[in-house]
Amino acid sequence: MDPIFPLDDTQALLQTSLQRWLHDNAPFERRAALLATPAAFQPLWTGLAQQLGLAGAALPEAVGGQGGSLADHLVVLQALGQALLPEPYSACLVTGAGLLQRMPSTATAALLAGVADGAVRPVLAALEPGARHDLAQVASTLQADGTLSGRKALVRAAPQATHWLVSARDAAGTLRLALVRPGAAGVTQRDVQLADGSWAAELAFDRSPTEALPDLGDMAPLLQQVADEALLATGAEAVGVMQRLLHDTLDYVRQRKQFGVAIASFQVTQHRLADMHMALLQARALVAATVGAMDQSAHHRGRAAAACQVAVARAARTVGQGAVQLHGGMGMTEELAAGHAFKRLSLIEHHQGGVAVHLQRVARWQASQALSA
């Protein structure tokens, strides 16, 4: 597997160890069992966290982590994408733990220590019915007595979480985060299995008790920051999925014969494969180029993340549809990995909105730059 960006010695060792572990412990043949119920992933998560230490890869050493960075997350997610592994890594560690790291307190430090050893899985519950992809369009309310009321729509990995970080507005209208445990009083949870087999849940709160989190004022900028990081993380996963899909498609067309010859020798097949390869290379390059933008201003970071997602979404469609067409009817069966990869890429294509949504973000940034010039 070609890495997204040049790896240092530690990252190269991480990638090699993870690929070997996934080959031994999470082959494609186990995928159906891992998707059967929300709880089926637990032994695998324990292995990732405790045997490989991946849950703490990007956490500070003070809470039991390895002191890594967002780049380390991308190394992991590329490998997980290639393995088509149905786990909540990005939701729990990139977004959930990423939020907790930026809200320092004794309570969040204890939670992060639990994240590092695999016992705690925090998931952000932010989007609401009718809000589309607008993180700031929040009607849920956080009362002065610490109780929460409201609804959240299709929260990815919510059924596998131990804690939910729920966005809500206080009496002054300020956007806050509240910590809620699954099963708390007043909580209604409806689990939903998505098209790619992963799990999400619709959540409703009726004066549900919450646990205290540090008061950092308006949380909208921080929520947008972790959303941009989640876009980049999803891009890294998509690169891994596309690499797997292109590899499997090459193997298939070399073996599949028509008129006594492998279809890989047909010019139309070679042209399609070339288009798929170029789309993958472009997406991989954009993901690599966006890593540095995560430390820039909110405007530059948002533009880079949106532009990266546009490239990834377009590549996902090119590679996914090309692979299915070259596989023929076999491309949509459950027996081959190609159909599973196609479904995952289809959801990634619309992550945080389709191409039009992210192009609008880029256009707004360019317009603001023109006005300030």
**224 and 365 within one domain:** yes
Buried b (16+ CB within 10 A) or exposed e, 159-191: bbbbbbbbbbbeeeeebbbbbbebeeeebeeee
Write the burial class of residue 366 (CB in 10 Å: 0-12 exposed, 13-18 middle, 19+ buried): exposed
- Could you tell me if 229 and 352 lie in one domain? yes
What is the predicted pLDDT for the residue at 372?
65
Q: Residue 301: what pLDDT?
A: 95
Domain range enclosing 129: 122-209
Residue 1 lies in a domain: no
Same structural domain for residues 203 and 254? Answer: no
**Angle (CA) 238 241 242, round 5°:** 85
pLDDT band at 255 (very low <50, low <70, confident <90, very high): very high
Please state, rounded to an integer, the average pLDDT across all residues of the chain: 94
Dist. CA 209–CA 214, nearest whole Å: 16
Beta strand 163-169 with 122-125 is parallel
Structure tokens at 173: 């209208």
Residue 52 belongs to a domain with what CATH number? 1.10.540.10
Q: Where are the alpha helices (DSSP H) in the chain?
A: 9-25, 31-35, 42-46, 70-82, 89, 97-101, 106-116, 220-255, 267-290, 298-327, 337-349, 355-372
Instruction: Tell me what the mean pLDDT of segment 247-269 comes to.
Output: 94
Average pLDDT rounded to a whole number, residues 165-181: 97
Structural domain ending residue among the three candidates 86, 116, 146: 116
Please list, residue by residue across 274-293, b when 16 or more beta carbons sit within 10 angstroms of its beta carbon and e when fewer do. eebbebbeebbebbbebbeb
Q: Report if residue 214 sits inside a domain.
A: no
Residue listed under structure tokens 């191409």 = 355
My answer on whether 245 and 335 are in the same domain is yes
Same domain, 105 and 172: no
Instruction: Tell me, yes or no, whether 3 lies in a domain.
Output: no
Q: Where is the domain boundary, 116, 145, 169?
A: 116
Would residue 28 count as lying in a domain? yes
**Model confidence band, residue 334 (pLDDT cutoffs 50, 70, 90):** confident
For residues 224 and 363, state if they share a domain. Answer: yes
Within this chain, do residues 19 and 156 fall inside the same structural domain, yes or no? Answer: no
pLDDT at 370: 63
- pLDDT at position 354 is 87
Domain end: 99, 116, 133, which one?
116
326 burial via Cβ count (<10 Å: 0-12, 13-18, 19+): buried
Neighbouring C-alpha atoms within 13 Å toward the C-beta of 335: 3
Distance CA 61, CA 65 (A): 4
Q: Is the pTM of this model over 0.85?
A: yes
Instruction: Give the residue-averaged pLDDT of 121-137.
Output: 93
> What does the pLDDT average to over 14-26?
94
Residue 24 has pLDDT above 70, yes or no: yes
Residues 196 and 278: their CA atoms lie apart, in Å, by 25
For the chain, the domain total comes to 3
pLDDT at 333: 84
- Rounded to an integer, the average pLDDT of 39-48 is 93
Secondary structure letter of residue 29 according to DSSP: G
- Any domain includes 227: yes
Mean pLDDT of 161-175: 97
Confidence (pLDDT) at 285: 97
Q: Is there a domain that residue 215 lies in?
A: no
What is the total residue count of the chain?
373
Q: CATH number for the domain including 141?
A: 2.40.110.10
CB 217 within 8 A of CB 103: no
30 and 110 both lie in a single domain: yes
Whichever domain contains 295, its CATH number is 1.20.140.10
